[in-house]
Every structure is written in structure tokens, then in C-alpha cells.
Structure 1
Amino acid sequence: MGLINPEETTKLIADLVSIPSPSGNTNEVITFVENFLKELQIPAYRNRKGGIIATIEGQDTSKHRMLTAHVDTLGAMVKEIKANGRLKIDLIGGFRYNSIEGEYCQIETQSGKKYTGTILMHQTSVHVYKDAGKAERNQDNMEIRIDEKVHTAEEVRTLGIEVGDFVSFDPRCEITPSGYIKSRHLDDKASVGILLQLIKQLVEEGITLPYTTHFLISNNEEIGYGGNSNISPETVEYLAVDMGAIGDGQSTNEYTVSICVKDSSGPYHYGLRKQLIHLAQENNIGYKLDIYPFYGSDASAAIRSGHDIVHGLIGPGIDSSHAFERTHISSLENTAKLLYFYVQSELVI
């Protein structure tokens, strides 16, 4: 068991990443998720923060599970309209300015009008600026070149652009013949796609879950508080489905499911970790264990909020996290398989 259809899942992920949804401006993508769940006739509601919670009733309604993935992404806001008609930006989420240099972007005004642009160094032209390569990539030096005939701050404001307007980055999504999907925002829209496909699989196969299970698609994870509320008092286990980060000293790769044992918040629940490993081994699921020292999840946010739950974190391995991300269909498959068997397993406590 695993993904219902790999092509269908990657298409769903591609659809998700194509919808701009920086933290703070996620209504459009939440509506997309809402419509997906409506087609499956899965009861769901929005919380006041704008996330969406779907519930599948299980045999035991006195003990619940919750699974989360987040649909909000990195992005920016207009910080200042410069005298030259370009825009200074302020970042949303934890990433570096160098990771967005040269990226196409979209500015959405308060009225909903959208303009395109490119994020560039002010000192981009090597024919003009001697320090083009050495100048620091930071808020003072980087700006948006708007694709409109504007040369002054007044002309920009005539378009309706103002301080506080949201800026989203072009995902540049591509699915390769060799099975890779590369795109911005695979963190965490790859996992959102996997969870939605899991719900669809449970419905189509007529599976009755052992415990009532909630699926929270959160929308503030990148700023630290996406999944820390709307956890029912009956919830015993809480599993965040996010990315596994790849780099020097890490075990995670693009082909297996990553099981996080510890992040910046401390260790995840030891019993749940052991159960996830057992399920992976029992069902021939490729997995890696890893520690992420500069990472936090919806599950760790829930623990910090004081909820008395067993918490865990798994996800597909994502290369170049918070930049030009990539994973492989086999990592999506292994993550989907582990989730499929997990939601049908017994609780740890």
C-alpha cells in the first residue's frame, strides 16, 4: 500500500505549490483544500486562524489522533516603496536573502490586484557596480523590480501597491522523467498532498480507522504557531508531517521517509518513535532517523502550548530546504506508506 496514484499525487502537489500562500495570506490555498475535502464528503471546518480541520470518525471515539501538515510558505511583505520605484521587502519565515536572488515574484495588493516582478540586488549590473559580486545580500541591498512603468514611489502607489502587501515567490515546479519533483514550497505542500491523498485512499478503500482521527492543515507553521490549537481533549497522539532536511551530517535522503528523533525543541516521544520504526520495518518501508538542530514543527509548537499529548514528526526528505527544494517520488511513496499503516495501528499509550 502507498500512494493511490503517484502521478495523481505529484500533480496535486504541483497544483498546491502553484497557489501563492505566504504565512498570513493563505485563504486561496485553504479554499483549494476545503474543496478537495468536500468532494470526498469529509466533514471539515476552519479554525479562527484560518487553518482547516477534517475528521474521520473511528471505532474508538474516546481517544483521538491528530495529523498535521502546513500549507503556509515562506514569502515576504513590502517594507518600503523606494524613491526609484522599486520595493524593499521584509521576509516571512526563516530563510536567507541569497536564496531568493533573481527569483520571479508576485505582489498582491490589498484590493486583490496582482503584479509580477523580480527580486534583485540593487547592485546587480556588473557593468555599473564594481562590488556586484561582493555586496551583502540583505534587506538594504535587495529590492523588487516591478514589471510596470514606474520610476517613483508615487507611480508605484498609483498601482495600489503599499507597505504590507504580500510578496510570493515563483515556485518553478518541475516533475522530471527520473521521478524528481523540484519546486519551492515542497516544505510543506508535499506533505499536504500526501495527507490529502491518504484521506482519499481511506475513503475509496472504505477503511474504518481504529480511532477518530483529525487532519489539521495549518497555515502559520513557518512563523511558529500553526498547529498549537484546536487539539481536542481526547487527542492522545499528534503526528506532524513535515519535511526531512538534508545536509552534511544528516541521515535523511530524497528516497526514504525521515523520522525525526529530536529537533530544537528536544526529543520527540520515544515510544511513538519506536512504533514508527516498527511499522516501517514490518512493511518494508525505507526510512532514516535524524536530528534537526535548527528545526521546529507543529508538533513541537503543540507541546510548547501545554497540550498533554504523545508527539512525533515524519516527512519526505527534501533537499535544499527553504531554498530550491527537491525530492523524489520514492520519498513521497515511503512517507505515504508509513502514514497508511500508522493511522490503522494501535495507540502507543
Structure 2
Amino acid sequence: MTQPLHPNLARTYMLNILEKLLGTPSPSGYCAAIMKLIQAEAAKLGHALELTPKGNGMITIPGTKPDPREVIALTAHVDTLGAMVRAVKPSGTLRITPVGGYAMATVESEYCLVHTRDGRAYEGTVLTTKPSVHVYSDARDFKREEAHMEIRIDEPVKSKEDVLSLGIGVGDYVSWDPRTRVFPNGLIKSRHLDDKASVAALFTLLEWMKREGKAPERTVKIIISTYEEVGHGSSYIPPDITEMIAVDMGAIGDDLSATEYDVSICAKDSSGPYDYEMTSALIALAKREGLPHAVDVYPHYGSDASAALRGGSNIRAALIGPGVHASHSMERTHSDAVANTAALLAAYLFEPRA
């Protein structure tokens, strides 16, 4: 077979693009800035990025032996969890509504940015409406739910009118401070590793292909989705796609086997089992290439491949990705897991077809 991507290749590139992605706010539906970054990065690697009407991006890599009956898609999502302003309170604080599914306790005391419709951004902090144990006797036990959370804006505001004068209003997006840390030992902790770590893996694969002058036999379409966290990221895909690998973070905990150092291969999630032959081939390739991996079942999980299948796509689908601890909270993974995800994708794409 063609030599696959070695886990140690392109680490510097991989970490650089990952930090750029993590540093660009992109809650679901607010992805114009990060798609410009993706578009520019694709151009550097010699690829055009086609934008769909709803804002997804697609890179087409023509195959050396194209067959219209075998077009494979690799999809990862660049959208993240976040919030939206639900109401401006008389006190000058903001009530929020979540974008994506997370426990409110995971964003308590988090720094954030409020993005106005006219392009301004204001920093703030997410707090409960009873934020001090020195004042409220039930501050510790107060339920962390949407109605009890608010944003304190770091501006001299004392009323609703003061806030409105800043240009802040209902429907403005809120992004969380990712607080990214990359350690010399390879560990990476940050919000939004779901799923920017997988997007970094895809671009690491593209960088390797360009540097080594390689192209797969089959035509490959890389789809970067912008609404995965709200359920419909890749619900529509081009009809010529016959296979899809969703590249998304691997869940860790309870009876799951994956660690932050592994490529996670999902056999089944809440949408049902993934394609048996594809999943089996990915497991076999991970074993053959010596890539640390785990096969797991995710009971509370869906992917872009799930969305494509539910959207009526007549495809085979699989799901892999780097193991991520504390998903939808303060997440952590290891650079090995991201690099090995790229390596497994390379092995799959460049495996000679029967």
C-alpha cells in the first residue's frame, strides 16, 4: 500500500492550525470568520473551498482513478457550543439561551464574548443570579439551569438602557473563552476540541498529501460543517457521495475504553450502528498500522454521519476521532490522538480498492 501518514509527521503544522481554530469564535450558526480561516488555509494547500448555501464548506480532491460509484466524504464540524442573548435584564445583565447541548454548571464563571450584530464584541462573565456565598445562603445549592444564569458585562452598565446603548440586543451570539493550553508532554486542554481537533486532523492529512505529492484513487470530498452541535450539520450532502467517515471526538468515561491517547472508533451511537464493513476495515487498519485505538459504543451521541443518514442520504457511514475527556465541558486530548486520527484516515484513503 502507499505509505500512510506517520503519527510524528506534521506535528508543528497540526498544532498551529489547531490553535488558530480554537482561537476563532464559532458557535453554531456564527461561523463566517472561521470559514474564512478555513478557506484561506485550504488555498495554501492548493484546494478551493466551496461554500454551501447554509455555510458548510466542501473541498473536493479528484481521485487518480475516479469511479462515480465510489466517492468518499470526510466530515468534521467547526461549530461549537455557545449561547445567545435571550433578554436584557433591567439590572444590565444578560439572560442567555444555550446553543448546543451542555450542562449549565460547565459554563459557570466562564469568561465570554458577546458579539453584536454590527460587529462589536464585549467581554463578560457567566454567573448564577446568586453568585456570592457571602450574600446568598443557598448559593452553593442553587440549581444551575438556564433561568438562573446570566452574563455580567465588563462595561459600566447599570440598566437595560445602558446595555442597549452598547449595541447589545436579543439574538446576539455569545462565545466561550477556549482557554487553550498546549503542553510539552503532548496534552492539549481547551474548550471546543469537539470538534476542532478533528478539523485539525483533516488539515494535517491535506498538508501531508500536498507535501508528499499524494492523491487517493477515489475522489474525496472533505465537508466542514457549521451546524453539527444543533443536529443538522451534514444533513444534506452531495448525492454522488457513497461513503462517509464522520471525524468527531471520541467520548471517554463510564464503561468506554478510549483514552485521550487513542483514536476512538465508534461502532454504534444514539442513531444506531455504523456500517459494519467500514468499521471493521478501520479497526483492521488501526491494528495493522500500530495506532493506539479503542472501539466503543456512545449512548448519548450523534454525528454528522447520523445527520446525513437521517437526511435521507444513501450512504455507508463510519465514525472515528481523537479521544476527548470531559466532552462539552473543559476538554482535554493528546496530540498523539489527533495525529493518529489523521494517520488512520490516510491508511483508509490510500488502501488499494478491490
TM-score range, shorter chain: over 0.9
Cα separation, 2, equivalents of 1:247 and 1:261 = 16
Higher deviation after alignment, 60-69 or 98-107: 60-69
TM-score scaled by length of structure 2: 0.96
Write out aligned runs for 1:138-287 (5 A): 138-233=145-240, 235-287=241-293
Cα separation, 1, equivalents of 2:263 and 2:322 = 5
Paired letter, 1:299: A
Deviations 1:190-241 (A, max 9, x none): 00011011111111111121100000011000011111213232x2210000
Contact 2:10/2:208, CA 8 A, preserved across alignment: no
SS in structure 2 opposite 1:225? Answer: coil
Cα separation, 1, equivalents of 2:42 and 2:334 = 26
Query: Could you tell me which of 39, 45, 53 is aligned with 2:50?
Result: 45
| Residue of structure 2 equivalent to 1:319 | 325
Cα separation, 2, equivalents of 1:268 and 1:194 = 21
Q: Does residue 292 in structure 1 map to residue 306 in structure 2?
A: no
* Displacement after TM superposition at 1:18 (Å): 0.7
Cα separation, 2, equivalents of 1:77 and 1:347 = 47
Cα separation, 2, equivalents of 1:61 and 1:75 = 41
Contact 2:237/2:308, CA 8 A, preserved across alignment: no
Cα separation, 1, equivalents of 2:33 and 2:253 = 33
Structure 1 gap segments, 5+ residues each = none
| Residue of structure 2 equivalent to 1:24 | 29
Aligned length: 347
* Displacement after TM superposition at 1:115 (Å): 0.3
Cα separation, 2, equivalents of 1:300 and 1:190 = 19
SS in structure 2 opposite 1:140? Answer: helix
* Displacement after TM superposition at 1:179 (Å): 1.1
Matched residues, percent identical? 44
Paired letter, 2:191: R
Contact 1:3/1:198, CA 8 A, preserved across alignment: no
Cα separation, 2, equivalents of 1:240 and 1:198 = 15
Cα separation, 1, equivalents of 2:157 and 2:212 = 56
* Displacement after TM superposition at 1:177 (Å): 1.9
Higher deviation after alignment, 68-77 or 332-341: 332-341
Cα separation, 2, equivalents of 1:188 and 1:347 = 29
Structure 2 gap segments, 5+ residues each = 1-5
Higher deviation after alignment, 121-130 or 78-87: 121-130
Deviations 1:83-107 (A, max 9, x none): 1100000000010100000000000
Paired letter, 2:238: I
Paired letter, 2:260: E
Contact 2:239/2:313, CA 8 A, preserved across alignment: no
Cα separation, 2, equivalents of 1:4 and 1:227 = 30
Contact 1:97/1:138, CA 8 A, preserved across alignment: yes
* Displacement after TM superposition at 1:113 (Å): 0.5
Contact 1:47/1:230, CA 8 A, preserved across alignment: no
Contact 2:193/2:331, CA 8 A, preserved across alignment: yes
Coordinate RMSD, CA, aligned: 1.1
